[in-house]
A and B are shown apart, each in its own frame.
Chain A
Amino acid sequence: MSTRQMGEKVQRREDPRLLTGNGRYLDDLGRGALQAAFVRSPHAHARIVDIDIADAWELDGVEAIYTWEDLPGRVAEPLPVLIPHPAMTHARTGYCLARDEVNHVGEAVVMVVARDRYVAEDACARITVQYDTLPAVVGVAGARDGDRLVHDDVPGNVAANLRQEVGDVDSAMAGAPHTLTLELAIERSACMPMEGKGVFGRWDADDGSLRLYSSTQTSTGVRAAVAAKLDLPLAKVEVVTPDVGGGFGVKIVHPWPEEVLVPWAARNLGRDVKWTEDRREHFVSSAHERGQLQEVTVGFDDDGRLLALDVRFWHDNGAYTPYGIIVPIITATQLLGPYKPGAYRVEFWSLYTNTVLVTPYRGAGRPQGCYAMERTMDAIAEHRGLDRAEVRSRNFIQPDEMPWDHGLMFQDGRPLKYDSGDFPASLAKLKALVGWDDFAAYREQAEREGRRVGLGIGCYVEGTGVGPYEGGHVQVETSGRVNVATGLTTQGQGHQTILAQIVADELGVPFDDVHVTTGDTRRMAYAVGTFASRGAVMSGNAVALAARVVRAKALRIAAEALEVSPDDLEIADGVVSVKGAPGTSIALKTVAVMSNPLRYAFDESAAAATQFAGTFDPDTPPVGDDDEPGLEGQDFYSPTQATFANGMHAAVVETDPVTAEIRILRYCVVHDCGVMVNPMIVEGQVHGGVAQGVGGALYERMLYDEGGQLLNASFMDFLMPYASEVPHIETDHLETPSPLNPLGIKGAGEAGTIPVSAVIASAIEDAEGFPIRSMPISPADLWELRRRHAASDPDPVPAQEGPR
């Protein structure tokens, strides 16, 4: 009997290849291809007056130089608005190469294709672009003022304004015994995958077809977008996603200008063309996230129970809105976390600034939402002198209230309805893990030693596994090898392992026989992409359903051969046997032979399926009317709504009384993503997420000056945590299966990141005794806050009691 794979800490099959230099990332492909480089705008806001490329052409090895005027047809048109929304009244996107105007530093203006990247960059340096500079709009506050405009035809810099309300907030607020207003700020960070973006295009002139390799999170999306832009039949475009060195959101955007320009140039030049983003390009021309100013007004009773919640926030969407307003919609809805808000009203304004565009980054708007809600919970507890965990507990949605419908519309246009979860049980686990009730004693002990420590907490619910669908294809070869394909891409989440685990169990074959392909449009042309913690939920269930199709077919064929009912058969270890009579069996690979009647014998197993082998009924066709050759099947999983994972984090921090250095002493996570396919991989996702959250809480911020120059566009200056900055993470899990899908899975990809800024703010506030209202926080920030509070010079954004 085979060992069940689901739920086991199976070691990853991706690893040996990646560990030995046998990985194939984008820049490892296309040896000998021509290389592209870009002249990018040095100004945040300017009109292009003139471009002089003459000097660049003089360089040996330059093959092509393109400006906007060289672009034909749809290549010259603005990039698409990928996710339109009715509230987005002023969507704006850029061009593949800037047309008349640039709207952020780093916007591509000229493309050079040359023998190698060195020459291409030399050529870029010889191109002179004359600009007429315009005033730049930087930061949410600057955009909100509206006295300077990013786009002349967008009043107030407002791309979108959306309001949702459940219940009567005004009367609930008026009737609340207590109200508080919090002004909150959170700054920009960025995904920063270790591998930047990259595109490699190969045009086959004889076949009129394009093969495109891209370091993307959506190969089918890139395929459709590029086919449309280049006016090619979809059938003539293949997109392959090789090994991808991390994504975290930024690689879901498509098409990036380079994804259009590189294949276009390849077709133009009849040569392979490649572009590999360098780190500076990634900082100034890819995407950022997180920047928001928030205003929360909350009404509550003596016990700290929410009666009304009124939230307004201003979201910095950067210069363009290709990915719509997914990020602020998620903030607006996921802000509610595990709590019942009473009446709830939320309104946001998504604002243009002359900075790099904003698209989802791991957590995608949720870290900001969680931060707003959890800062509010702490403020309520402080105001009422209550235990912070207790205030949270009193506001929880209870397990017997699931499914819980908030009455709001989520990011996928469907109801914000939680499918499952047990928040009291999660909180109990977290309190036990971190030693919540013993902390007061620890703090006293630390104080006696002259140390200042604080405990912080943060709870969240994460909408995961959004639709519309993913597909799975499963095929059993006559060798017994099982090929599984899903169109969803992978960037290190271990999909090749977990999907093989699922199929091995569903089909009844050894794990080692199952081989998974992801993100290759040649193998699965229908897919959405990897984002929103949807890989295991969507493709996991899709490959399970496809495996069930194959299993049913295998049982039908084997039942005919063994002259028994399919109901009497089982499959284990790749063998179909009669239940209770293991001697009567047939190997699955033999069933594969039988499934496909052949004319030609090309090997031994094929010989067994040819027309003169074995017995057959001459009165029936070799393939029945309602049948197809081959032991393979395909199915799709498409849910009615997202699943909702949840979790709770707690941290102990120490703040140095003199230097204000902030150290995380302990970090504890309780996590519930439903049924875990591979707990080892789930934990790895949590660890990585927390590390990114720690970066966002303490180090990462995009430092723009007033002119829109990004002052810290390098790893020397934009600080990401090393091993020395990330604490050991203690984890515990709860599994409340999702009732929405056959496997009971909820997603786990982003969870670790969501509450970290809230938790660290909570812990620092607990250590210092004054409110923390702006994140990230550096030692210098903390030092300044201490100075202001000591001088009774209140924080610029304190909580305020009383009527609005």
Chain B
Amino acid sequence: MSQFAAEPLLDITVRVNGIRRTAAAPARRLLSDFLRHDLGLTGTHVGCEHGVCGACTVLVDGEPARACLMFAVTAQAHDVTTVEGIGHDPADLDPVQQAFVECHALQCGFCTPGFVTTISAYLDEHPDPSADEAREAISGNLCRCTGYQNIVAAVLRAAELRREREGTA
């Protein structure tokens, strides 16, 4: 018998990508680990676990948040959107995802989900950014592959695609 009691597990319920999901996890479980390992939503990546790189960025009630800096329990009663919630079908891409393909805005793709969520939220508020504004919008996320230039281009292209889709809707 262990000297230390097993860690108590809580049933944690979070609304993720529009669906209420429940899993048993300890109170200290990070939201990033909860999404990835308890719910199997592995699109949210962990690059630093100290809130600097932005790879784990999800939307909490529509606002970008670092999933590695939140506990899963604190996400209860909130709406969480992961990259899978932006678009999960490779054959049916969201405008931001489509713009990334067109502009060669990803290489290894590890930081990419955090950029996609960040840019989606940004364009909701700023549908027609300038190149400088686009650069500013992504300047909280680290990418080690692309040199950012093509990500800036993708922000502008995504804004264009969004307008086109709205125009035809």
Contact = CB atoms under 8 A, between A and B. Distances in A.
A245 B110 contact: yes
B164 interface: no
A21 B43 CA distance: 4
B140 A687 contact: no
B142 interface: yes
Contacts of A50: none
A491 B108 contact: yes
Given A279-B48, A715-B53, A724-B135, A493 B107 contact: yes
A669 to B, nearest CB: 11
Contacts of B139: 722-724
A16 interface: yes
Given A17-B90, A31-B37, A729-B147, A714 B108 contact: no
Which of A684, A689, A714 has the most B CB atoms < 10 Å from its CB?
Answer: A684
Interface string B119-149: 0000000000000000110111111111111
A722 B107 contact: no
Contacts of A687: 146-150
Contact of A726 (B48, B87, B147): B147
Contacts of B111: 194, 245
Interface residues of A, number: 61
B109 A691 contact: no
Contact of A720 (B5, B29, B142): B142
A722 B97 contact: no
A226 B49 CA distance: 30
A689 B6 CA distance: 48
Contact of B106 (A18, A31, A729): A18
A195 B7 contact: no
Contacts, number: 195
Contacts of B4: 58-60
Contacts of B138: 723
Contacts of B26: 118
Given A27-B46, A715-B50, A684 B146 contact: yes
B166 interface: no
Question: Which of A12, A278, A722 is packed against the most chain B CB atoms within 10 Å?
Answer: A722
B7 A19 contact: no
A61 B5 CA distance: 10
Contacts of B50: 279, 714-716
A768 B55 CA distance: 38
B83 to A, nearest CB: 4
B93 A246 contact: no
A16 B40 CA distance: 19
Interface of B: 2-7, 26, 28-29, 36-37, 40-50, 52-53, 55, 82-84, 87-91, 93, 97, 100-102, 104, 106-113, 116, 135-136, 138-152
15 contacts: A19-B116, A21-B82, A118-B26, A118-B28, A194-B45, A245-B47, A245-B109, A246-B110, A492-B109, A688-B107, A691-B146, A715-B52, A715-B142, A716-B52, A723-B135
Interface of A: 11-12, 14-25, 27-28, 31, 58-61, 116, 118-119, 192-195, 243-246, 248, 278-279, 491-494, 680-681, 683-684, 686-692, 714-716, 720, 722-724, 726, 728-729, 752
